[in-house]
């Protein structure tokens, strides 16, 4: 439940500065994406780029922690399709779990990330003391949080973003509109593949 100030009610504490950083428990909704996704990624590709197991991916989708925003699995034989942003969120969830953040707080952070504008994510740093997750959008906010004794570790979302981008560039994507497989999700590779297909 949002409290109207960008946070939500609950047991999460507040960061030292009123203007931010603040606990991630909801935020004003923003469009799901600032640009239409044209490429989706199947489960095994999302797992490889995020560094998780397929069992984790399946469990998180079934429990609603991180669901595929391009195409859910419905009926037998259908494949989940994840967006680039979904894969970034999967990798962030993995990092939080590795550092012992409670699942309830990870769930709140995921909801917050999904509500933010696409470009906001690259500039964001997520800090946590293991119990509360905070968003910091400037170096000053990170310092304020550390000085307040609340920040123990941080995740620079922009770094995760670039890691996922690099990983996916080596893996296969799928055109959302046509279902065509993109080899390495690289236009140059795609042209090379088409040339090979014509040569056969």
Nearest to 170 by CA among 144, 194, 156, 188: 188
Q: What is the dihedral of CA 93, 114, 158, 127, to 10 degrees?
A: -60
CB 69 within 8 Å of CB 82: yes
Report the alpha-carbon distance of residue 31 to residue 117 in Å, rounded. Answer: 7
User: pLDDT at position 139, please?
Assistant: 81
pLDDT tens per residue, range 91-128: 999 999 988 888 888 888 888 888 776 667 777 888 88
Q: Residue 3: name the closest of 34, 20, 28, 32 by CA.
A: 28
- Contact by Cβ (8 Å): 15, 147: no
Q: Is pLDDT at 52 greater than 50 in this prediction?
A: yes
How wide is the angle at C-alpha 130 spanned by C-alphas 124 and 134, nearest 5°?
30
Residue bearing tokens 């699942």: 103
Q: What is the pLDDT of residues 174-189, one digit of tens each?
A: 988 888 888 774 544 5
Q: Give the C-alpha separation, 29 to 26, whole Å.
A: 8
Greatest mean pLDDT among 46-50, 66-70, 171-175, 192-196: 46-50
| Cross-strand pairs, 41 | 82
Asked if the model's pLDDT at residue 166 lies above 60, the reply is yes
| 6-46 per-position pLDDT tens digit | 333 322 333 333 344 444 433 333 333 333 478 899 999 99
- 63 vs 139, higher pLDDT: 63
140: left (phi over 0), alpha (psi -120 to 50) or beta: alpha
* CA angle in degrees (0–180, nearest 5) for 53-34-151: 60
* Mean pLDDT (the chain, rounded): 74
Between CA 19 and CA 6 the distance in angstroms is: 10
What's phi and psi for 165, nearest 5 deg? -60, -45
pTM score = 0.71
The C-alpha atoms of residue 84 and residue 41 are separated, in whole angstroms, by 8
């Amino acid at each position: 439940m949002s409290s109207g100030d960008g946070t939500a009610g609950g047991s999460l504490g507040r960061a030292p500065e009123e203007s931010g950083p603040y606990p991630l428990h909801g935020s004003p909704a923003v469009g799901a994406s600032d640009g239409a996704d044209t490429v989706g990624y199947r489960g095994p590709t999302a797992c490889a780029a995020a560094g998780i197991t397929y069992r984790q991916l399946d469990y998180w989708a079934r429990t609603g922690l991180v669901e595929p925003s391009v195409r859910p699995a419905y009926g037998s034989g259908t494949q989940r399709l994840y967006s680039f942003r979904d894969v970034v969120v999967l990798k962030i969830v993995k990092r939080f779990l590795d550092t012992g953040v409670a699942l309830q707080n990870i769930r709140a952070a995921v909801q917050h990330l999904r509500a933010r504008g696409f470009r906001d994510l690259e500039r964001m740093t997520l800090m946590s003391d293991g119990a509360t997750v905070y968003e910091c959008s400037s170096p000053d906010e990170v310092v304020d949080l550390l000085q307040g004794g609340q920040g123990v570790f941080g995740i620079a979302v922009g770094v995760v973003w670039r890691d996922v981008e690099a990983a996916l560039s080596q893996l296969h994507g799928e055109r959302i509109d046509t279902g065509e497989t993109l080899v390495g999700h690289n236009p140059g590779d795609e042209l090379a593949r088409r040339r090979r297909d014509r040569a056969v």
